[in-house]
Structure 1
Amino acid sequence: MWPYFILYPRSAKNARIASRCLRYLAKLTDMKWELRNGDILTEDRAAIIVSNHQSALDILGMFVVWDVANKMTAIAKKELFYVPLIGITFYLCGIVFIDRKNGKNAYKQLKITTEMLKKYKTKLWVYPEGTRNSNLSTLLPFKKGAFAAAVDAQLPIIPIVISPYHFFTKGKEALILKGPIVIECLTPEPTVGLLPDDVPALTERIRARMDAKYKQLSEEILDYANVEFDKKFSSRLEIK
């Protein structure tokens, strides 16, 4: 895909083309991705999408969303830029690289990015947890950067919750569940009229909504997952 991407470097449309091709990777697994309330993503507008983050496999779910959202890009840690093949592909697709170790520079990059989002009516996918979370019970605390940038640019925030799709037994041994994985879009949160002082409350309000939905989806997944857990393992997966 590089020859085409080079003709339109840094275009968010490149990411959609890549997602259409690469989403077939999901068919190599037993994971069936189901998008709910996808119509929320179809509106031609700039927005910031916030989603929970479980593992590198999240990108398979992003491919499903990308095809519906049309013009969308994402945040990635700057270290990925130096990964052979992947780094240059991400760059050509308009992925935004930030230094997670430098909060001020990361926020500055986000502010620059939101102006481009408004200009080209593009959506930006952010993982506010800041790192991968394999906890079935709850989401990690959210970092405020994406929410502050949304308020500063007066952009709506679209929460997306991905149901848990893997559970860790112990150590590095992991069991991938077979079956459907739900990607649910929640009602967007407007930021028009909000001020910087409103960011903490906005962050906590959205996290609470996403956490409640995550727990609901967790219970739903456990109801139809085709996996037999022993008593010890099952007790570790109890929803609290």
Structure 2
Amino acid sequence: MVESYLKIFLTSCLLILPLLYKTSHVFRYYAKFSIYILFCTINAVYLTPFFCLRPRHIRNFLIASRLCSPVRLLLGVKYELRNTHYIAKDEAFIVVSNHQSILDVLGMFHMWPIMQKCTVIARKEVFYVWPFGLGAWLAGLVFIPRTDVEKSKEIMTETCQMIKDKKAKLWIYPEGKRYSDGQIHPFKKGAFHLAISAQLPILPVVFNQYTFLNHEKKSFDQGTVIMTVLPPIPTCGKTLDDLDSILNETHQKMSTTFHEINKECEKSKKF
């Protein structure tokens, strides 16, 4: 009797869930994010033992990106990368980009095979979200304790030296947190202070607005993310006196590109 009820329940789920996914945007919203998180978590568990063999190796994230990227097909999100020649250079850069959603990570994964060597700055709290946090740390993610300024500076200085030695890239979100209101918000100074101190060029990357994703209305449809890499902004010969001008220049160029691409997408009605 119990087996019969179980079969009926499973059969009902198999019939109802696809219908809900197709007809309810709220159900689809939560289902897609659940798929995304579950997919990344499973990969973190799977990869952790392998990363233990070469912990925090600069190319570990390249492996993770190849395994995690296919989830975009399940989510119905396509990625288009423009100006790949800038990001493909075998040089050390401080990469700065706007930050709208946890889906930005998928955009980074799409770029990793081109960048090859890259690591990312994240707040220390992310480390405790296991198994993802542990896997990310073993992959080489750099965790910063925001409440400990001196420790943060020490970690950032060591990381900068590492990417200079390995000709790698350090990815930072200068807005400090995620925004999904169609604007690029003011930048914090950390990334630019770091770039000037290390005399590393800044490489801006702009993600277009995720019009297919609306957190307030709980909708997550199919869509295309355009990632535009802008020409590097040099810091060689610059001092901290130039920090504000470089920050403002970067913000202005990224904001202009952001709005231009959004208009392009709106005009084409393809995204």
TM-score normalised by the chain length of structure 1: 0.88
Residue 151 of structure 1 aligns with which residue?
196
Could you tell me whether the CA contact under 8 Å between 2:82 and 2:227 is conserved in 1? yes
User: What does 1:125-140 align with in structure 2 at a 5 Å threshold?
Assistant: 125-136=171-182, 138-140=183-185
User: What does 1:210-221 align with in structure 2 at a 5 Å threshold?
Assistant: 210-221=254-265
Count the aligned residue pairs.
Answer: 225
Residue 141 of structure 1 aligns with which residue?
186
Further displaced range: 68-77 or 2-11: 2-11
Shift of the alpha carbon at 1:167? 6.5
Match of residue 95, structure 2, among 49, 53, 62 = 49
Could you tell me whether the CA contact under 8 Å between 2:84 and 2:229 is conserved in 1? yes
Could you tell me whether the CA contact under 8 Å between 2:96 and 2:205 is conserved in 1? yes
Q: Secondary structure at 1:88's aligned position in 2?
A: helix
Residue 241 of structure 2 aligns with which residue?
197
Q: Secondary structure at 2:218's aligned position in 1?
A: strand
Q: Share of identical aligned residues, percent?
A: 39
Letter matched to residue 119 of structure 1: D
Q: Deviations over 1:151-175 (max 9, x none)?
A: 1111111000001114676x73233
Letter matched to residue 204 of structure 1: N
Q: Is residue 206 of structure 1 aligned with residue 206 of structure 2? A: no
Rg larger for:
2
Which protein has the bigger helix share? 2
Residue 16 of structure 2 aligns with which residue?
none
Q: Deviations over 1:94-147 (max 9, x none)?
A: 1000123444543332222101111111101100000101121x2110001011
Q: Secondary structure at 1:173's aligned position in 2?
A: coil
Could you tell me whether the CA contact under 8 Å between 1:177 and 1:226 is conserved in 2? no
Q: Is residue 160 of structure 1 aligned with residue 243 of structure 2? A: no
CA distance in 1, matches of 2:265, 2:221: 9
Could you tell me whether the CA contact under 8 Å between 1:33 and 1:61 is conserved in 2? yes
Letter matched to residue 154 of structure 1: Q
Residue 38 of structure 1 aligns with which residue?
84
Q: Is residue 118 of structure 1 aligned with residue 164 of structure 2? A: yes
CA distance in 2, matches of 1:45, 1:9: 23
Q: Deviations over 1:11-52 (max 9, x none)?
A: 120101100110001111121100001111111111110000
Could you tell me whether the CA contact under 8 Å between 2:204 and 2:254 is conserved in 1? yes
Match of residue 27, structure 1, among 40, 51, 73 = 73
Further displaced range: 104-113 or 185-194: 104-113
CA distance in 1, matches of 2:71, 2:153: 33
Which protein has the bigger strand share? 1
Q: Secondary structure at 1:12's aligned position in 2?
A: coil
TM-score normalised by the chain length of structure 2: 0.78
CA distance in 2, matches of 1:108, 1:203: 22
Could you tell me whether the CA contact under 8 Å between 1:166 and 1:176 is conserved in 2? no
Letter matched to residue 48 of structure 2: W
CA RMSD of aligned residues (A): 1.7
Could you tell me whether the CA contact under 8 Å between 2:124 and 2:144 is conserved in 1? yes
Could you tell me whether the CA contact under 8 Å between 2:212 and 2:222 is conserved in 1? no
Could you tell me whether the CA contact under 8 Å between 1:49 and 1:159 is conserved in 2? yes
Unaligned runs of 5+ in 1: 228-240
CA distance in 1, matches of 2:246, 2:120: 21
Letter matched to residue 109 of structure 1: I
Could you tell me whether the CA contact under 8 Å between 1:152 and 1:196 is conserved in 2? yes
Distance verdict in 2 for CA 1:14–1:85, change over 3 Å: same
